[in-house]
């Protein structure tokens, strides 16, 4: 279903004597038989309302009906720290405690400058981005 498509129209009929579904259909392609996921979703939603003793549809919208809440910048809640302070550890409740991975950064070590002859050698190699 696309965002600009209209919502599917669902119809169910329940027999009050037998408390069974007597008729169901949906406006989607598979819904004519009454065995589509939209009908199942409606029945599960109604079952949830019944289990929670609700007599009407709650006003709170579902997460798929409102604009996305996640993915927004957090601002300055997480402060930057130097790489030498980063500890990588898997959160587990295991009894066996493994040593965390620490950053082994030597800030005294200087990297050599890249010369034009180095770039020439890289260009001559096959399978490199410069090749």
Confirm whether 78 is domain-assigned: no
**pTM for this predicted structure:** 0.45
Confirm whether 91 is domain-assigned: no
Cα separation, 120 vs 13, in Å, equals 77
Number of domains in the chain: 1
β-pairing, 87-88 with 101-102?
antiparallel
Confirm whether 104 is domain-assigned: no
Confirm whether 109 is domain-assigned: no
Tokens of 105: 């950064």
Confirm whether 96 is domain-assigned: no
* Res. 3: pLDDT tops 80: no
Q: Which domain holds residue 37?
A: 10-51
Confirm whether 83 is domain-assigned: no
Confirm whether 2 is domain-assigned: no
93-115 confidence digits (pLDDT tens): 665 666 777 777 677 778 788 88
49-75 confidence digits (pLDDT tens): 888 888 888 887 777 777 777 666 666
CA atoms within 13 A on the CB side of 26: 18
């Amino acid at each position: 279903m696309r965002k600009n498509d209209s919502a599917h129209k669902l119809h169910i009929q329940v027999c009050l004597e037998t408390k069974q579904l007597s008729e169901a259909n949906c406006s989607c392609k598979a819904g004519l038989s009454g065995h589509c996921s939209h009908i199942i979703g409606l029945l599960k939603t109604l079952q949830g309302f019944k289990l929670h003793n609700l007599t009407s549809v709650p006003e709170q919208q579902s997460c798929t009906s409102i604009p996305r809440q996640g993915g927004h910048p957090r601002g300055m809640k997480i402060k930057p720290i130097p790489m030498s302070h980063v500890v990588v550890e898997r959160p587990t409740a295991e009894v066996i405690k493994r040593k965390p991975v620490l950053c082994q950064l030597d800030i005294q070590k200087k990297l050599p400058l890249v010369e034009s002859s180095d770039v020439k050698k890289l260009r001559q190699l096959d399978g490199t981005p410069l090749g």
